[in-house]
């Protein structure tokens, strides 16, 4: 009795795991917001590593130093030049050297920030030869995806009751790790924006235009993003869920999807015509 029950259970688990597809791969969540988070997500892409470095090593220390200096100056002024100590106020209105310094130093600081900042901006806009191309179309209020090279096409709708809340979709964008992914973006109605924080990408999806971004995800796992352009009533309910997997797993996923749709892969077609 117990044994037949176990067999039944095993069969059920096997069928269920098989039907699970992407989710059955037991991938961990890598790119998601966390409670009380106050830093960036990731980095899980080369560009996001650069963004982290630019902020942590460069921008943040600079901001801290400037804030501390300004605070110290103000404290000094408030104490040293307080009314009780200076009953007779000074009539000084100009100090040429001081004015040159407080104009040129901030300009210099901005130039120092601008150089690595523009370099980083250039890197984020770069487009290399793509290994996988995905077309994402924004709709009110869901994303539709196409893999033109594989003949795949599907919509991704929110699953509102799943955790992490408001981030899970019924179908996922599957990508291989450590490959150049080109995401082409457009919209069927209003302006949306496709963003994946852990990978350091965000770009508008504009009706009538085709924008392109590129990302290379370095770690297998599940990543979450959101539409990042106010697009109407359900703007907060069209999340982006990306599953990054090893190349072999990705290829298996593509074949699985193609088989389900009855698509004959191009390589098989070529072999068939040769015979
Ligand atoms: Cu949107």
pLDDT attached to residue 26: 75
pLDDT attached to residue 152: 94
For residues 239 and 225, is the Cβ–Cβ distance under 8 A?
A: yes
pLDDT digits (tens, 9 = 90+) for 95-146: 999 999 999 999 999 999 999 999 999 999 989 999 999 999 999 999 999 9
pLDDT attached to residue 92: 85
Query: Which pLDDT band, with edges at 50, 70 and 90, does 264 fall under?
Result: confident
Query: Which pLDDT band, with edges at 50, 70 and 90, does 221 fall under?
Result: very high
Q: What tokens were used for 97?
A: 């050297």
Query: Which pLDDT band, with edges at 50, 70 and 90, does 60 fall under?
Result: very high
pLDDT digits (tens, 9 = 90+) for 182-211: 999 999 999 999 999 999 999 999 999 999
Ligand 1 centroid to residue 141 C-alpha, Å: 6
Ligand 1 centroid to residue 208 C-alpha, Å: 15
Domain 132-263 has CATH 1.10.1750.10: no
Ligand 1 centroid to residue 173 C-alpha, Å: 16
Percent of the chain with pLDDT over 90: 77
Ligand 1 centroid to residue 228 C-alpha, Å: 7
pLDDT attached to residue 19: 39
Across the range 82-103, mean pLDDT stands at 91
Ligand 1 centroid to residue 175 C-alpha, Å: 22
Across the range 235-240, mean pLDDT stands at 96
Ligand 1 centroid to residue 139 C-alpha, Å: 7
pLDDT attached to residue 275: 52
CA proximity to 243, closest of 185, 183, 177:
177
Query: Which pLDDT band, with edges at 50, 70 and 90, does 89 fall under?
Result: confident
pLDDT at 14 > cutoff 60: no
Query: Which pLDDT band, with edges at 50, 70 and 90, does 13 fall under?
Result: very low
Q: What tokens were used for 194?
A: 């496709």
pLDDT attached to residue 262: 86
Ligand 1 centroid to residue 167 C-alpha, Å: 13
Ligand 1 centroid to residue 146 C-alpha, Å: 17
Ligand 1 centroid to residue 191 C-alpha, Å: 7
More confident residue, 84 or 17: 84
Ligand 1 centroid to residue 207 C-alpha, Å: 12
pLDDT at 265 > cutoff 80: no
Ligand 1 centroid to residue 145 C-alpha, Å: 14
Strands 181-187 and 132-139: parallel
Ligand 1 centroid to residue 184 C-alpha, Å: 15
In the chain, what are the domain boundaries? Answer: 46-88+95-125, 132-263
pLDDT at 3 > cutoff 60: no
Ligand 1 centroid to residue 194 C-alpha, Å: 8
For residues 41 and 195, is the Cβ–Cβ distance under 8 A?
A: no
User: What is the C-alpha to C-alpha distance for residues 55 and 37, in angstroms, rounded to an integer?
Assistant: 16
CB-count burial class (<10 Å; 0-12, 13-18, 19+) for 124: middle
Query: Which pLDDT band, with edges at 50, 70 and 90, does 163 fall under?
Result: confident
Ligand 1 centroid to residue 32 C-alpha, Å: 19
Highest mean pLDDT among 29-33, 79-83, 90-94, 179-183: 179-183
The model carries a pTM of 0.80
Across the range 139-160, mean pLDDT stands at 95
Q: What tokens were used for 179?
A: 């490959």
Ligand 1 centroid to residue 190 C-alpha, Å: 8
Helices (H), 81-212: 96-125
Ligand 1 centroid to residue 56 C-alpha, Å: 31
CA proximity to 199, closest of 111, 144, 254, 134:
134
Ligand 1 centroid to residue 193 C-alpha, Å: 6
pLDDT attached to residue 267: 65
Ligand 1 centroid to residue 6 C-alpha, Å: 47
Ligand 1 centroid to residue 219 C-alpha, Å: 27
CA proximity to 245, closest of 14, 4, 25, 39:
25
Ligand 1 centroid to residue 22 C-alpha, Å: 25
* Residue 145 β-bridge partners: 136, 154
């Amino acid at each position: 009795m117990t044994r037949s029950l176990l067999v039944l259970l095993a069969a059920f688990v096997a069928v269920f795991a098989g039907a699970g597809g992407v989710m059955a791969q037991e991938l961990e969540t890598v790119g998601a917001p966390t409670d009380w988070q106050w830093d960036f997500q990731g980095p899980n892409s080369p560009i996001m590593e650069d963004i982290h470095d630019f902020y942590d090593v460069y921008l943040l220390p600079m901001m801290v130093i400037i804030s501390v200096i300004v605070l110290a100056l103000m404290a000094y002024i408030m104490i040293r030049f307080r009314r009780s100590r200076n009953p007779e106020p000074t009539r000084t209105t100009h100090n040429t050297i001081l004015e040159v310094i407080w104009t040129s130093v901030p300009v210099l600081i901005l130039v120092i920030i601008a150089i690595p900042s523009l370099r980083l901006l250039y890197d984020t806009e770069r487009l290399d030869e793509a290994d996988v191309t995905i077309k994402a179309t924004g709709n009110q209020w869901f994303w539709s995806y196409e893999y033109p090279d594989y003949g795949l096409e599907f919509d991704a709708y929110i699953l509102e009751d799943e955790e992490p809340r408001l981030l899970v979709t019924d179908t996922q964008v599957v990508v291989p790790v450590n490959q150049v992914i080109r995401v082409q973006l457009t919209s069927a109605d209003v302006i949306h924006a496709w963003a994946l924080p852990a990978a350091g990408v965000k770009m508008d999806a504009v009706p009538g235009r085709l924008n392109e971004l590129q990302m290379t995800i370095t770690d297998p796992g599940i990543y979450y993003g959101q539409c990042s352009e106010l697009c109407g009533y359900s703007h907060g309910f069209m999340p982006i869920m990306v599953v990054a997997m090893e190349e072999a797993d990705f290829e298996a996923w593509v074949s699985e999807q193609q088989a389900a749709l009855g698509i004959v892969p191009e390589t098989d077609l070529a072999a068939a015509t040769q015979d």
